[in-house]
Amino acid sequence: MAAGAGWRMGAGERGRRGAETLFRGLLFCVLGCGFCWGNSVERKIYIPLNKTAPCVRLLNATHQIGCQSSMNGDTGVIHVVEKAQDLKWVLTDGPHPPYMVLLDGELFTRELMLQLKGSSRISGLAVAISKPSPAQGFSPGLKCPNDGFGVYSNDYGPQYAHCNWTAWNPLGNGLAYEDFNFPIFLLEDANETQVIKQCYQDHNLPQNGSVPEYPLCAMQLFAHMHAVTNTVTCMRRSSLQTAFSLNPEEVCDALSDYNVWSTLKPINTSSKINPLDEVIIVATRIDSHSFFWNVAPGAESAVASFVTHLAAAEALHKVPDVQMLPRNIMFTFFQGETFDYIGSSRMVYDMKMDKFPIRLDNIHSFLELSQVALRNSSVLWVHTDPVSRRNDSIQPQVETLVEALINSSVGANVTLQEVGQSQPLPPSSFQRFLRAKSIPGVVLADHRTSFQNRYYQSMYDTAENILMKYPEGLSPEETLDYVTDTAKSLAEVATVVARALYQLAGGTGNTSAIQADPRTVSRMLYGFLIKTNNSWFQSIIKQDLKGLLGDELPQHYIAVTTLVNTTQLVQYVLANLTGTVVNFTKEECLNPEKTPNPEKEMYVYTWVQGSRDPNSTSRVPFCVQSTVHLTKAASPAFELKQWGSTEYSTWTESRWKDIRARIFLIASKELEDMVQLPFLLDLMLQPTVFTLAGTTDSALPSLQEDEACWRIPLFQASLL
Ligand SMILES: *[C@@H]1O[C@H](CO)[C@@H](O)[C@H](O)[C@H]1NC(C)=O
Ligand SMILES: *[C@@H]1O[C@H](CO)[C@@H](O)[C@H](O)[C@H]1NC(C)=O
Ligand SMILES: *[C@@H]1O[C@H](CO)[C@@H](O)[C@H](O)[C@H]1NC(C)=O
Ligand SMILES: *[C@@H]1O[C@H](CO)[C@@H](O)[C@H](O)[C@H]1NC(C)=O
Ligand SMILES: *[C@@H]1O[C@H](CO)[C@@H](O)[C@H](O)[C@H]1NC(C)=O
Ligand SMILES: *[C@@H]1O[C@H](CO)[C@@H](O)[C@H](O)[C@H]1NC(C)=O
Ligand SMILES: *[C@@H]1O[C@H](CO)[C@@H](O)[C@H](O)[C@H]1NC(C)=O
Ligand SMILES: *[C@@H]1O[C@H](CO)[C@@H](O)[C@H](O)[C@H]1NC(C)=O
Ligand SMILES: *[C@@H]1O[C@H](CO)[C@@H](O)[C@H](O)[C@H]1NC(C)=O
Ligand SMILES: *[C@@H]1O[C@H](CO)[C@@H](O)[C@H](O)[C@H]1NC(C)=O
Ligand SMILES: *[C@@H]1O[C@H](CO)[C@@H](O)[C@H](O)[C@H]1NC(C)=O
């Protein structure tokens, strides 16, 4: 038998291959690759991992966090770690460092990660997502989210600064804010994880206590990051490059996008509203985060809240006398709040700089929906700011707010209760407004003190986390419309909020008719948590935006590209729920300024593609008139070029060229360094290299052509 057959040898036969040399290993490859050449060599060499998400590098004013690989990717022999004891092999015992650790999701803890971080025997990590979610909870965020960027500081409620009162996110292990100098990828697909484990079992498993021998199954992770050190360094470099280079190569980009907002009563956005006009702001965040890039399901931390907010907006718009209310209501959806309040800090800045139609002085009060997914509880907590309540003019206004909310919940299935008045606000956009001005406001949350959410800002904050369950066997369309218990309870919250807002806006009518629609809530939960490509979302977006919808799980990371999916979808859903269909032609709808319409400054017009006609494949588009606007959610720090700001968010994301992951067999330690694909291919195309290296024909094993093909390590690469 040819020694080369060892590529697929059973464990018992392995020992016999001990004498294999580097050159032989290479030659097998050259021969094998030669035989298979013409088809696709690459695919036979590497198995790409197709369903992965990388950890990337983010930077703020003073630090870099996240992960990166070396320029050409990092490679290591795979070792599967399913229990803490397995770690000993990679950290001390294993003879083939560096190792690529395939880590069970349950073990992805701070303690273990710091152990790996301190070891030079680790070249990278692949984390298998844990199903079901870890019972003990998991949050890679901080215990004190957005610390230093809220209102509490040495000058304002110093006893509350740095979460001295309550660690809001006690499970936060801070992993997402650590700096790792090796690549870390998430394996999102259990089948792919199984492929890797199989390769490991076939080749790397220690047999009867003796060490495994080459060929070994290895993994290579590419995630090289261009930016280093901090935002100050990278923005300075970017601005120099832009100024002096014809071919500027920026290395990082500010996290930024757009806030979405609308008003109950239309306002002229080309001017400022009357200084005496009063506006109640309703707010939620629409973004989330996790350890991994663009893995941000945010079910409880964002989606349940903004869906409730949207449902309340719809319910209010249906009230007949709503245009007569003395006060206006502004529905505000902040983007980038996860990263030191990007969206809200920008809106406050714009209001202060008179760049927004509404001024801070117009704000009557502020109502924020923080995490409001009640799960099995029925109590929603009302949080207020103890510091501003000491002011005699603010205190009664806050009381009115709290009363309106508590009264609205009378008779509802949701009970609102006030937390102790000496307790500070949880992390909230409202804090950014309080930083600028004493404004009466409340924050609603499903937690009295620290978060109920055990998966805050993690890949496990999914539909299951808010107990969304569908009966089996429903079609996608049936699922879209299926009213879950979660939807019912969020609709209850929306009803209470809408009724309270109606009263606060000066409404005197009977509020019992104000009712949020559980079916709308169901559809939104489905669209934002399960599948954006559903018939409702299809019907309410512009035609040229079809790429917005997909069948994969929706993610709510702010990113650096403008107008991420979430922002646009919130925009279209809000327009659908609060707008009206007007009888405009496409031409009129797209160019309202050309029509003699006196209201054009008051409204926004959107030509949406409409539903599919049941008897044909065509859609019936129409024009929607709404008050839905977008404004920049980019931190003022970048506007002001204050990259070292401690007042405003300075988060940037590094750029990269290549992010991918793959596994393959390596024939020997020496070969390991050569498996970089371009180099290997070069070698294959120039077999003379090996003749020069001194190999004679007699060293060539006799190979069958097809045997050589499968012997060649495994596989090829994929892009994310
Ligand atoms: C491992 O040990 C078992 C029983 O002791 C034996 O049957 C088997 O052949 C051994 N395998 C190897 C690879 O040595
Ligand atoms: C930047 O992030 C690091 C890591 O979370 C943190 O320790 C540091 O305080 C932050 N710097 C600023 C200016 O916010
Ligand atoms: C995993 O493999 C099983 C069996 O081959 C298949 O039924 C299932 O759909 C696969 N899962 C995914 C997520 O591809
Ligand atoms: C990734 O996709 C490629 C091409 O479809 C396939 O050959 C490969 O097996 C996939 N990788 C895994 C780990 O399943
Ligand atoms: C909106 O404001 C602009 C600028 O002040 C003004 O020219 C325009 O007439 C206003 N439109 C309406 C409908 O009030
Ligand atoms: C109370 O708040 C109002 C409105 O912000 C402010 O004008 C006033 O100065 C504050 N009073 C005290 C005692 O701080
Ligand atoms: C936006 O949605 C499309 C379709 O689902 C998807 O391909 C794309 O990755 C999404 N973008 C982000 C940033 O999630
Ligand atoms: C979205 O769903 C439709 C069917 O409703 C399908 O034709 C289309 O290909 C899907 N789009 C994407 C991006 O998956
Ligand atoms: C909202 O969407 C529904 C379903 O597609 C549609 O029937 C309705 O006319 C839309 N309303 C507006 C104002 O766009
Ligand atoms: C819509 O507008 C068209 C032409 O502008 C007109 O013929 C039609 O009657 C209008 N329909 C409604 C329902 O107003
Ligand atoms: C669709 O076709 C069915 C039967 O062919 C017919 O009864 C129905 O009225 C049609 N619907 C529309 C909207 O044209």
Q: Please determine, for residue 18, whether its predicted confidence score (pLDDT) is greater than 80.
A: no
Q: Are residues 374 and 393 in the same domain?
A: yes
Signed CA dihedral, 70, 71, 73, 76: sign only: negative
Residue 236's H or E segment, with its range, is helix 231-244
Q: What is the pLDDT of residues 318-367, one digit of tens each?
A: 999 999 999 999 999 999 999 999 999 999 999 999 999 999 999 999 99
Is the C-beta atom of 11 inside 6 A of ligand 1?
yes
Query: What pLDDT is stored for residue 242 in this prediction?
Result: 64
pLDDT band at 703 (very low <50, low <70, confident <90, very high): very low
**Which residues fall within 8 angstroms of residue 284, CB to CB, at 6 or more apart?**
302, 305, 306, 308, 309, 332, 333, 334, 368, 369, 370, 429
CA distance 451 to 142: 12
CA distance 146 to 559: 18
Tell me the per-residue pLDDT of 383-429, one tens digit each, with 9 for 90 and over: 999 999 999 999 999 999 999 999 999 989 999 999 999 999 999 99
In a domain, residue 13? The reply is no
H or E stretch at 394: helix 394-408
Same domain, 296 and 194: no
Answer whether 0.85 is exceeded by the pTM. yes
Mean pLDDT of the chain: 87
Of all protein residues, whose CA lies closest to atom 13 belonging to ligand 8? 550
**Whether residue 691 sits in one domain with residue 663:** no
Q: What is the pLDDT of residue 672?
A: 53
Do 530 and 419 share a structural domain? yes
Torsion of Cα atoms, 587 then 588 then 589 then 590, to 10°:
50
Rounded to the nearest 5 degrees, what angle is found at the Cα of 454, between the Cα atoms of 452 and 458?
Answer: 130
278 has pLDDT over 90: yes
Residue 597 domain-assigned?
no
Say which residues have a Cβ less than 8 Å from residue 218's Cβ, sequence separation at least 6.
75, 76, 77, 78, 100, 663, 664, 665, 666, 672, 675
**Confidence band, pLDDT 50/70/90 cuts, at residue 6:** very low
Considering the domain architecture, whether residues 665 and 703 belong to the same structural domain is answered as no
Any domain includes 607: no
- Rounded to whole angstroms, the Cα distance separating 663 from 199 reads 9
Q: Which of 41, 44, 49, 50 to mutate to test the pocket of ligand 4 (most atoms within 8 A of CB)?
A: 50
Give the Cα separation of 51 and 196 in Å (integer): 12
Please indicate, yes or no, whether residues 191 and 299 belong to a single structural domain of this protein: no
Q: How many domains does the chain have?
A: 3
Q: Give per-residue pLDDT as tens, 541-564.
A: 998 886 899 999 999 999 998 899
- Flag whether 129 is in a domain: yes
Angle at 660 between CA 659 and CA 662, to 5 degrees: 160
| Phi-psi domain of 354 (left: phi exceeds 0; alpha: psi -120 through 50; beta: other) | left
Do 139 and 204 sit in the same domain of this protein?
A: yes
> How confident is the model over 141-193, as pLDDT tens digits?
999 999 999 999 999 999 999 999 999 999 999 999 999 999 999 999 999 99
pLDDT tens for residues 85-105?
999 999 999 999 999 999 999
Indicate the pairing of strand 629-634 with strand 622-626. unpaired
The minimum-distance atom of ligand 6 relative to the CA of 391 is 1
User: What pLDDT does residue 245 have?
Assistant: 61
Q: Is residue 262 part of a domain?
A: yes
- Domain shared by 272 and 200, yes or no: no
The secondary structure of residue 410, as a DSSP letter, is: T
Residues 219 and 84 in one domain: yes
Task: Give me the CATH number covering residue 461.
Answer: 3.40.630.10
Task: Tell me how far CA of residue 66 lies from CA of 62, 112, 219, 440, 662, in angstroms.
Answer: 14, 16, 20, 38, 21
Confidence of residue 374 (pLDDT cuts 50, 70, 90): confident
Q: What are phi and psi of 505, to 5 degrees?
A: -80, 0
Cα of 539 vs centre of ligand 11, distance in Å, is 19
Question: Residue 647 above 90 pLDDT?
Answer: yes
pLDDT in tens, 139-154: 999 999 999 999 999 9
Closest residue to atom 13 of ligand 5, CA basis: 599
63 falls within a domain: yes
Q: What is the mean predicted confidence (pLDDT) over 572-576?
A: 98
Position 209 in a domain? yes
Residue 653 lies in a domain: no
- Of the two residues 210 and 131, the one the predictor is more confident about is 131
Question: Band of the pLDDT at 293, cuts 50, 70, 90?
Answer: very high
Cβ(174) – ligand 2 distance below 6 Å: no
pLDDT tens digit sequence for 248-270: 567 999 999 999 999 999 999 99
For residues 433 and 484, membership in a common domain is answered with yes
Same domain for 195 and 272, yes or no, is no
Ligand lying closest to the C-alpha of residue 272: 5
- 177 and 318 fall within a common domain: no
DSSP 186-232: EE--HHHHHHHHHHHHHHT--BTTBPP-SSEEEEEEEEEES--S-HH
- Tell me the residue range of the domain where 690 lies: 680-719
